[in-house]
Structure 1
Amino acid sequence: MQDFKEIIKNKNFLYLWSSQILSQLSINIMNFLLLIKLFSETGSTIATSFLWVTWALPAVVIGPFAAASVDIVERRRILIITNLLQALTILFYIFVHQTRIFIIYGIVLIYSFLNQFYVPAESASLPSLVKEKDLPHANGLFLLTQQAALIVGFGIAGILNSLLGFKTSLFICSVAVFLAFISVLFLPKIEVEKIKSKNYEEAFFKFFRRIIEGYTFIKDNKNILIPFFLLMVIQISGAIVTVNSPIIAREIFRININSAGVLLVVPAGIGAALSALIIPKLMKTRYRKKQIIEKSIMLIIFSSLLLIFLVPILEGVLGTFIGILIIIIIGFSFIGILIPAQTYLQEKTPGGMRGRVFGNFWFLVTIATIFPVIFSGTIVELFGIKLLLFLFSMIFLGILIFSRKLGQKYLENGIR
């Protein structure tokens, strides 16, 4: 606790952390507001799926350039410019949102484009603002903030929309990002460090070279490929569930879509938090990582089937209560897969390759998620959310069968 007190006494860290808190909250509130707005206006899950795709495209197309830019351009300047432009982007949308619903896609594209510069600049600035001994705790606070902002942002977005309305809620987001802009104004100038890549082009190609090296290593090592694939499935599943949360709220829980954040995302977050506390303790006991993963997969399958067949037939408060418990279990199970799989991956990946494997994970996940998200929207549009959830449970059943029959063989020495 004393270590965290030392960090919080660092005013430059507080300026950057305040910017992160305000930015992350705003992003998550805005994303959920736009999601329920789009679904309310169109009733289309394909439309909401393309909202996620629009958000993801800049990460694929611009991400490598943006990541390279933070080693070339002064980082404080990047933070200032991106925060200001993001605040103005939200403000602009407030005045034009009633003209055409599909302007949402343009706003999301611009905001995500700017975010590709903000996020790496924020991460790269941290080591310059805190002492080396405080860096693990600073990174821990940033990671905690990122996860908490997702739960809180999605949780309160619907409440804000119901109480204050769409425009006022967006205005609050714009003000919050503007406050983030003011916060980074107080940061000292953060000069870029001397790096081996002397020019932008070399830094860009270095990024893709590391991706190819990481991909080749993963492909050639089956004991790395299996947990890596499992982590990708978890992240893709999370994205699909998120973009389809309005239809889950309406068709499964039979509640107002403004309540989707409180009754879906928050319980999932509670389950994930409980799992994050319990699973590491289980891993220190006689339970093998493979066992924990398989038990978690079984819980996901069982919970998905309950969502399909039980929750819709239960009336009123009882149905909502049982549904919330099931969502908590699903959140718990997702982390029950993620922590053991990621730990195993860290243990088995040689030190020299960890940066290539983990550093490019989100880039690869983003690319891999685009088509499943669109496909999920099409499935729900044509056949309903129940079929999608059933397909989910069958995919996880397939993974479970594979793990039971062939998993140990591919993991070579096994998961201990």
Structure 2
Amino acid sequence: MNLALSAEKKERLAQRNILLFVIGKFISLSGASIYSFVIGLYILKVTGLGTSFALALVCASLPRILFGPIAGTIADKVNRKMIIIVSEVTSGLLMVFILIYGHFFGLPLVLLYLSEAILAITSTFFSVTASSTLASMAGEHNIQKAGSLNQSASSLAGIVGPLIAGILYAFLPIDLIVLLTAITFFGAGIIEYFIKFNLFENKSATVQKERFFHSLAGGLRYLKENNLLFSLLKMAFWINFFFAGINVAIPYILNTTLNFSSQAYGTTAAMVSVGALVSSLIISRQKEHNQKIRMIRNGFLLLSLLVILIGIPPMLGSDSSMFNISYYLILLGLIGASIMIINIPIMVLIQRTTPNEMRGRIFGLVETISAAIAPLGMILFGLLLDYIPSFYVPYITGGAFLFIAVFSLSKLSEPAEAKLAG
């Protein structure tokens, strides 16, 4: 009876952990999104140069490539709760420093670029550690729910953050906006302090002490020896490369080829996050699927079809603005939903097939691979758009996703440990 009560109490704590984690992550990501959005607008206003804005994007993305494996290795060697709290507090203190420095000396561009880089580093440590701690925080049986709600928090922050940032930038001075973002980081840290991150951790397990670089090499070696994880990482590499083409093609097609207004473009582009949010919420309510490879393959088949459909209106030369807006509102929403059909089971597979003491390094490598290839894809497909009609890019990327679904995923089999017992 006591064991049953203990299990019941543990489950209540797991549900509390998930709720606190989702709220904390949403607040933290919203703060980061608001700051990056406002700083981007501020840099454009001050300089009027697209290259200055692009440099801010580089500062926000390059640290993710460099620090992903480092963050993962540290997450496997250090208390993960401490890493998450320190990441939030560091981000908050950074905002306070910018607020004070800006009040007395103004805001030089170099400081803004540096702040974007530091925020990207703390964000990398936060995201890698958070991903690696889901199983020990929520329990094996709640991985899909926790992972889905984790994606929901990211999607909702992607919708709400820029929306709030645009309103705040129109009505408030930048120093007050920076103060508000500092409050969001500190607030998220306070919420996450009350999460029991090691609720389902095996207390008897001993972590072998290794030197840092030996530990990092051990993560690479484990990944290479695990056929499923290595195959998933290779797919993530090509997925992010070709999806970079979509991220370049959609703004070009909507703004340049089809002449969407800024309001229509903003609303339409937000539908990707809306679709992802709705899909992840639905998946969080469902029983975990035992055939995750099949689910991922079906998601890729759906995504490949939807991506190809992006190129239809510009190919046909459609000039009906109402039709085009309605078409892309629905289409981009479905694309966002299909991305979650792929991402969530991949995340669950990684969680289920990776030992707790290795999860930080594996998710760190995933973060690095995902971040590293995207800029190359953006550059190559951006150059491609200068030489071919824009509708060819969705056909190329959609065909690539179809190839992955038919040929790469068909060779994978799901290991027994990735399936739920019973």
Report the TM-score when normalising by structure 2. 0.67
Once the two structures are superposed, residues 226-268 of structure 1 have per-residue CA deviations (whole angstroms, 9 ceiling, x without a partner) of 5543344444555665688876764356456687654313x11
Alignment partners' CA distance in 2, 1:322 and 1:341: 29
User: Which residue matches 1:334?
Assistant: 339
User: Which residue matches 2:399?
Assistant: 397
> Contact 1:59–1:113 (CA<8 Å) still a contact in 2?
yes
> Contact 1:293–1:341 (CA<8 Å) still a contact in 2?
no
User: Which residue matches 1:209?
Assistant: 218
Once the two structures are superposed, residues 22-50 of structure 1 have per-residue CA deviations (whole angstroms, 9 ceiling, x without a partner) of 21211122233345555673234854652
User: Which residue matches 1:42?
Assistant: 49
- Of 97-106 and 19-28, deviating more is 97-106
Using CA pairs under 8 Å that are at least 6 residues apart, name the structure with larger relative contact order, 1 or 2. 2
User: Which residue matches 2:119?
Assistant: 111
Alignment partners' CA distance in 2, 1:408 and 1:13: 31
Give the drift of 1:331.
1.7
User: Which residue matches 1:270?
Assistant: 274
> Contact 1:379–1:388 (CA<8 Å) still a contact in 2?
no
Q: Could you list the runs of 5+ residues in structure 2 that have no partner in the other structure?
A: 1-7, 415-422
Q: Indicate which of 28, 37, 48 corresponds to 2:33.
A: 28
**Residues 225-264 of structure 1: pairs in structure 2 closer than 5 A:** 227-236=232-241, 250-251=255-256, 254=259, 262-264=267-269
User: Which residue matches 1:300?
Assistant: 306
Give the drift of 1:111.
1.4
**SS in structure 2 of the partner of residue 360 of structure 1:** helix
**Residues 9-408 of structure 1: pairs in structure 2 closer than 5 A:** 19-35=24-40, 41-44=48-51, 47=55, 50-60=58-68, 62-64=70-72, 66-68=74-76, 70-71=78-79, 78=86, 81-89=89-97, 91=99, 100-101=108-109, 103-119=111-127, 141-164=149-172, 168-181=176-189, 196-197=206-207, 202=211, 205-218=214-227, 227-236=232-241, 250-251=255-256, 254=259, 262-265=267-270, 267-276=271-280, 277=282, 289=295, 292-293=298-299, 295-306=301-312, 308-309=314-315, 314=319, 316-338=321-343, 351=353, 360-377=362-379, 379-380=381-382, 383-384=385-386, 390-401=392-403, 403-404=405-406, 406-407=407-408
Alignment partners' CA distance in 2, 1:288 and 1:127: 23
Alignment partners' CA distance in 2, 1:402 and 1:395: 11
Give the drift of 1:351.
4.3
The residue type equivalent to 1:26 in the other structure is G
> Contact 2:87–2:122 (CA<8 Å) still a contact in 1?
no
Cα-Cα RMSD = 5.4
Once the two structures are superposed, residues 106-161 of structure 1 have per-residue CA deviations (whole angstroms, 9 ceiling, x without a partner) of 11111122334445666788899x79699766676555433432332244433443
Alignment partners' CA distance in 2, 1:21 and 1:402: 32
> Contact 1:296–1:336 (CA<8 Å) still a contact in 2?
no
Distance 1:161 1:264, change over 3 A: farther
Give the drift of 1:70.
2.9
Alignment partners' CA distance in 2, 1:381 and 1:92: 42
> Contact 1:46–1:374 (CA<8 Å) still a contact in 2?
no
Distance 1:206 1:176, change over 3 A: same
Alignment partners' CA distance in 1, 2:260 and 2:103: 30
Report the TM-score when normalising by structure 1. 0.68
Once the two structures are superposed, residues 68-120 of structure 1 have per-residue CA deviations (whole angstroms, 9 ceiling, x without a partner) of 56339956873674254243255368659975545433111111223344456
Give the drift of 1:296.
1.2
> Contact 2:242–2:377 (CA<8 Å) still a contact in 1?
no
> Contact 2:83–2:125 (CA<8 Å) still a contact in 1?
no
Alignment partners' CA distance in 2, 1:95 and 1:231: 43
- Of 349-358 and 246-255, deviating more is 349-358
Aligned length: 398
